[in-house]
């Protein structure tokens, strides 16, 4: 990464690296299944994850035709459209696809083993669902995700609004999707293979990479024009890396989080936990010095540049006035917090604190036995509690969920099938009441959220730091 001196405040963690893409030819299957649906193939491939001069890296990747690539091919539809893909599994492991953030039919959620059996090697599965809400989403493996996502099985899913926004007064004139990822590579640029279930990493911040990628390119140059107003759709697809990003000197304004619109607000830095997304509008200066960096804080305040916005071409008329808000969804019922169903999620475990005991597979175990079974985290005293639901809610009921983190590590809690309103953090009302599907909870923090249980089915709730999920932070709730 290229160092950039600036005055942005320092914060969390780091990576070092780059990405460019190359791939081998795969054995062909038809582009369309017998159903006529387009194929989404998961298969081994290669990518140039390290800078030029290093060997290519063996990855697992998605493809619609030809060789798989990292990130996977962008799927783009309009709100209200039906997404149809047949997953063809050409991997040596069973897999499934989760359509992250989409308020989807339960049977199509891809949350193996809860909503479907994982798709065996050589088999296929048809995914068909309505994408009801515009926004920035993504898709990824949801079977042994701490390995399969880390090998490359993730891609962007963009749902455009029925009503145009680009080009309207105050809106952007163009958009860019930026998929950020994190890789742990050895000196030969191969993915480190022998640490998928590393309990030391899992009991801390998780599997931290040493290489950063942005849209499959090493320190990519992103062409922009002087005066241009752009919409950036930013996705953190890392399995464990929390990313603090900086956009200095670009008048950045936040317009959406996890797909849901927010009132435009200034944001010079942006903190994205794994699985979180942010839509940001930037204004390229009319009198430009040629380059602006997308910066990442390595955790010591010495920001590094992971991509460059490079001015090219004749200036355009600058974006004027306040940024135009995105269109409201109009499909999400607001929670009624006057008399909600109250539930609690207690997070315990990890290094330094540990767990005295928890239940795993129906047996009460002490910490040593839990660890011998690969479990170092618990929700409400249950490690990987998939036998019974954490709670049940009647259809249409507002649920008030208090989430208490008694560990010293942050967690990115994701609710499947629903978006929720952030009510408070450590007792202080949230000033924005943002609507999200994944929320970051710091060590020793308490967060309150509320949502309407309006999507029937059995839904996972888990930490999206996938090393934490695999080692205990997984449960489910039922909407009946």
Q: What is the CATH number of the domain that holds 109?
A: 2.60.40.420
- Specify whether 156 is located in the same domain as 184: no
> pLDDT band for position 14 (50/70/90)?
very low
> Is 232 within a domain?
yes
The predicted-structure confidence for 29-57, as pLDDT tens digits, reads as follows 444 455 689 999 999 999 988 888 899 99
- Strands (E) in 322-466, as ranges, are 341-349, 357-360, 363-366, 377-379, 392-393, 398-405, 411-415, 420-425, 428-429, 435-436, 438-441, 446-452, 457-463
For residues 50 and 111, membership in a common domain is answered with yes
Q: Which of 419, 447, 439 lies closest to 275 in space, CA to CA?
A: 439
pLDDT tens-digit readout, 174-207: 999 999 999 999 999 999 998 999 999 999 999 9
Number of domains in the chain: 3
Contact indicator for 155, 75 with CB cutoff of 8 Å: yes
Q: What angle do CA 68, 73, 79 make, to 5 degrees?
A: 155
Q: Do 1 and 304 meet the contact criterion of CB atoms below 8 Å apart?
A: yes
Question: DSSP for 447-477?
Answer: EEEEEE--S-EEEEEEESSHHHHHTT-EEEE
Q: Which neighbouring-strand residues pair with 52?
A: 54
**Is 140 in the same domain as 117?**
yes
How do residues 345-403 score in pLDDT, each as one tens digit? 999 999 999 899 999 999 999 999 999 999 999 999 999 999 999 999 999 999 999 99
For residue 266, is it within any domain?
yes
Q: Where a domain ends, among 125, 160, 195?
A: 160
Contact between 305 and 295 under an 8 Å Cβ cutoff? The reply is: yes
Q: Are residues 306 and 180 in the same domain?
A: yes
Do 446 and 358 share a domain, yes or no?
Answer: yes
Query: Which whole-number Å values give the CA distances from 107 to 73, 217, 242, 312, in the listed order?
Result: 23, 35, 30, 47
d(CA 142, CA 281): 31
Same domain, 155 and 28: yes
Burial, 37: exposed, middle or buried (Cβ in 10 Å; 0-12, 13-18, 19+)?
middle
Can you give the pLDDT at residue 362?
Answer: 95
Give the structural domain span for 247: 174-311
Please check whether residue 153 lies inside any domain of the structure. yes
Instruction: Give yes or no: residues 43 and 128 share one domain.
Output: yes
* Residue 34 confidence (pLDDT): 58
Helix (H) or strand (E) holding 338: none
Shared domain check, 345 and 471: yes
Phi/psi at 199 (nearest 5 deg)?
-70, -30
- Going by pLDDT thresholds of 50, 70 and 90, the confidence category of residue 254 is very high
pLDDT tier for residue 289 given thresholds of 50, 70 and 90: low
Report field, pTM of the whole predicted structure over 0.95 = no
In a domain, 326, yes or no: no
Task: Report the alpha-carbon distance of residue 240 to residue 412 in Å, rounded.
Answer: 9
- Predicted confidence at residue 21, as pLDDT, reads 26
| Whether the predicted pLDDT of 463 surpasses 70 | yes
Alpha carbons 435 and 257: distance in angstroms, whole number: 7
In a domain? residue 318:
no
Is residue 28 pLDDT above 80, yes or no? no
Among 131, 160, 189, give the residue marking a domain's end: 160
Do 201 and 296 belong to one domain? Answer: yes
**Residue in the block written with tokens 């000196």:** 187
Q: Per residue in 323-356, pLDDT tens?
A: 999 999 999 999 999 999 999 999 999 999 989 9
Q: Which pLDDT value is given to residue 358? A: 97
258: pLDDT strictly greater than 50 = yes
For residue 122, how many other CB atoms are within 10 A of its CB?
9
pLDDT at residue 312 is higher than 90: no
Phi, psi of 368 (to 5 degrees): -60, -45
Distance CA 480, CA 477 (A): 10
């Amino acid at each position: 990464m290229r160092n950039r001196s600036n005055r942005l405040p320092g914060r969390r963690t780091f990576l070092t690296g780059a990405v460019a893409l190359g791939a081998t030819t795969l054995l062909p299957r038809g582009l369309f299944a017998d159903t006529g649906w387009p194929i989404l193939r998961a298969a081994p491939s290669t990518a140039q994850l390290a800078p030029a001069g290093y060997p290519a890296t063996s990855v697992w990747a998605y493809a619609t035709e030809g060789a798989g690539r990292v990130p996977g091919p962008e799927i783009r539809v309009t709100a209200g459209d039906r997404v149809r893909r047949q997953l063809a599994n050409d991997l040596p492991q069973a897999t499934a696809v989760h359509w992250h953030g989409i308020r989807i039919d339960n049977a199509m959620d891809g949350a193996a083993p809860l909503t479907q059996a994982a798709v065996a090697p050589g088999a296929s599965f048809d995914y068909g669902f309505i994408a009801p809400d515009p926004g920035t989403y993504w898709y990824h493996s949801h079977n042994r995700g701490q390995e399969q996502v880390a090998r490359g099985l993730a891609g962007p899913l963009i749902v455009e609004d029925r009503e145009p926004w680009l080009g309207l007064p105050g809106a952007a004139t163009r958009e860019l999707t930026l998929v950020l990822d994190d890789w742990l590579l050895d000196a030969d640029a191969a993915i480190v293979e022998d640490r998928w279930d590393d309990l030391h990493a899992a009991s801390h911040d998780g599997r931290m990479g040493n290489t950063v990628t942005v849209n499959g390119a090493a320190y990519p140059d992103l062409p922009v024009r002087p005066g241009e107003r752009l919409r950036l759709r930013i996705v953190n697809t890392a399995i464990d890396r929390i990313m603090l990003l900086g956009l200095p000197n670009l008048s950045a304004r936040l317009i959406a989080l996890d797909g849901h619109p927010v009132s435009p607000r200034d944001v010079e830095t942006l903190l994205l936990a794994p699985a979180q997304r942010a839509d940001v509008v930037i204004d390229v200066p009319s009198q430009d010095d040629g380059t602006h960096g997308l910066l990442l804080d390595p955790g010591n305040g010495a920001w590094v540049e992971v991509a460059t916005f490079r001015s090219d071409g004749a200036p355009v008329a600058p974006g004027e006035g306040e940024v135009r808000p995105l269109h409201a969804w109009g499909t999400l019922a607001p929670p009624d917090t006057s008399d909600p169903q109250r539930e609690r999620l207690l997070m315990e475990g990890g290094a330094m604190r540990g767990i005295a005991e928890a239940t795993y597979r129906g047996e009460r175990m002490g910490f040593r036995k839990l660890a011998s079974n690969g479990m170092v985290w618990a929700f409400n005293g249950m490690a990987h509690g998939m036998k019974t639901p954490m709670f049940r809610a009647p259809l249409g009921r507002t649920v008030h969920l208090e989430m208490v983190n008694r560990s010293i590590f942050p967690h990115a809690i994701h609710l499947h099938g629903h978006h929720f309103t952030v009510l408070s953090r450590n007792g202080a009302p949230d000033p924005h009441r943002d609507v999200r599907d994944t929320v970051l909870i710091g060590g020793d923090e308490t967060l309150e959220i509320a949502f309407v249980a309006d999507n029937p089915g059995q839904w996972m709730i888990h930490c999206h730091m996938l090393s934490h999920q695999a080692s205990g932070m997984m449960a489910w709730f039922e909407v009946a």
